[in-house]
Structure 1
């Protein structure tokens, strides 16, 4: 460091600080948010840390400085985290008769309160479903306010709650549902529903989950001052603690079911969080298996937030995964996976 210029010494101090924060980001998904609620917020910034580490790596390499090793090490250690954030190429395998598709979509009450200035939002969503024809649909923030029915789906499980405004989770299926239920989330308007769906000779338990929101507005015109920054961090910390309890309830419920599982829904948290790690367990993330790009599922400016997921047991081959980021009829984007049950797994 003695041979560095004054500016490069400053840059290297910043680099070291970034490395420490990156390491903390790697460790935090293994620690319950209740222990470090404020620090858990760092997991939201882990993708940014990885990108800046790459920039630092290039910065030192073009100067032939060995300081590049620090950022290179950080990136190598976190390579598996990077693949959850960005995929270079997608998987798209040939369609077979045994394939089936699963759609997950937070529909934001079908635009009940006109957040989007388009009176055709609910009809747009209906046409989208009719066009894509998924075999199984998991809706979050579902509402019966939309004046239409999904006629192609004879089997359904809908759980609504609330007094004046009723919202909830819904599962629609072209395949027969033989059992269904709900996981009540304590002191929350959110919930989890599940349905046991029969496809051929196989029974699949499908969960539609919607975890505690962090309640941050995506309004880019809203001024972010010091007081609001503190409010945001406190709100995120509180939501992460609530999500921890919710994820542990889901994990316990899934552990009691020994059959094949598919988890769909809005976790309101990143793929680098304790919550995601807890719910995912040993399941495969369909985006990681077959997606492409950032996989952004929440329409938040400047940041590719992936907070909606389709997680599947190892027995399911993920043959295709699509994020419909051009379909802007909610604050979330729909995601869909094409799956196949592989018997020898």
Structure 2
């Protein structure tokens, strides 16, 4: 038990350091950031185990838990924030719609209509969609202004930003050697101009289907585990390059900014730390529970985010794990730009 405890403590310390180290230097070790919450739980169990026996071995896990207290809000929020609605509030929604089920991954024939209805019910002022496809024919004409960048041949897909406010400038960053991309729109709201980024970083690509992905977990062996680790490592290296492109691009922005999208990585990663920078993670500010955004039954994975400039006051945040019309869940926040 002591040997296992020491092993978990060492792995946890390594996971603490990894957000500060570029994945390209330690690609295999970077995988540990995905399971950091599991390490914290195991350390808590070891702490209780040694505490009940009144043994000093509890100190190691106790120290790890104290050092990791800053990570807790990234994994689980005990209470939500829901401030009263006011004039000037803005609702922002981010959702990876998985091509609106264009290739019938889900058996329901009503997926795209359910997504459209959900969007109308949430009625966001700014809507960021990843894996968007015009081929699905989803009517979002309620939005007068839109920024859409697509790629591909017969079936085109990409990123889209829909807005109730005028879009005065737009652009994209097509990531080299990847089907993923980043788009942005400068939005005029009253007298203010806001920059909205919609990102979709490199997928881990364990499997194109969630059910198949779960089969990897159910029937894992040495060959498959090595393959999965290799894919995750390669994806993390690509994500680092993509995140650095975003970080460089946003340096030139003089407007209050919002960054939405599918990061395909955890809140304990180098990529998360770099993109978030000094922005607020809206889940951390106002969310509740695990904040899971990916439909994976073995782990409450939070890989979709809305970050907001500190000039915005985050007033509420919601995620919708019961809305299973994609492999991701939608997230919605309500924010307000504070006067200078």
3-state DSSP of counterpart to 2:121: helix
Match of 1:104 among 89, 94, 102: 94
String of CA shifts for 1:280-322, please: whole Å, max 9, x gaps. 1111100000000100000012101000000011001110000
The match for 2:42 is 52
Q: Which residue of 1 aligns with 2:247?
A: 251
Work out whether 1:73 is the aligned partner of 2:63.
yes
- Alpha-carbon displacement from aligned partner over 1:215-243 (angstroms, at most 9, x marks no partner): 12332334222111110000000000000
* SS of alignment partner, residue 263 of structure 1: strand
Structure 2 portions without partners, runs of 5+: none
**Aligned partner (choices 3, 6, 11) of residue 21 of structure 1:** 11
Match for residue 212 of structure 1 among 202, 214, 223: 202
State yes or no: 1:186 paired with 2:176.
yes
Mapping for residues 1-345 of structure 1, pairs under 5 Å: 11-217=1-207, 218-219=210-211, 220-222=214-216, 223-344=219-340
- The 2-side partners of 1:291 and 1:124 are apart by 24
* Structure 2: distance between partners of 1:265 and 1:30: 22
Distance 2:220 2:246 in 1: 35
Q: 1:7-28 deviations in whole A, cap 9, x for unaligned?
A: xxxx111111111100100100
Q: Residue deviations 1:185-209, cap 9 Å, x none?
A: 1111100000001111111100000
What is residue 5 of structure 1 aligned with on the other side?
none
Q: Is the 8 A contact 2:135 2:155 kept in 1?
A: no
Is contact 1:155–1:174 with CA below 8 Å preserved after alignment? yes
Deviation, 1:148, is 3.1
8 Å CA contact 1:110, 1:145 repeated in 2 = no
CA distance in structure 1 between the partners assigned to 2:94 and 2:78 by the alignment: 23
Can you list the C-alpha shifts for 1:38-94, whole angstroms capped at 9, x where unaligned? 111111110100111111111111112222221111011111112101101111111
Post-superposition, which runs of at least 4 consecutive aligned residues in structure 1 deviate over 3 A?
none
The count of corresponding residues between Structure 1 and Structure 2 is 334
Q: Is the 8 A contact 2:320 2:329 kept in 1?
A: yes
Deviations 1:140-190 (A, max 9, x none): 000012223212200000000012321100000001100000012111110
Q: 323-332 vs 214-223, which deviates more?
A: 214-223
Between the aligned partners of 1:147 and 1:22, the Cα distance in structure 2 is: 47
RMSD: 0.9
Which residue matches 1:4? none
Structure 1 unaligned regions, length at least 5: 1-10
Tell me the TM-score normalised to structure 1 length. Answer: 0.95
Paired with 1:164 and 1:72, the residues of 2 have a C-alpha distance of 56
- Mapped contact 1:156–1:171 kept (Cα < 8 A): yes
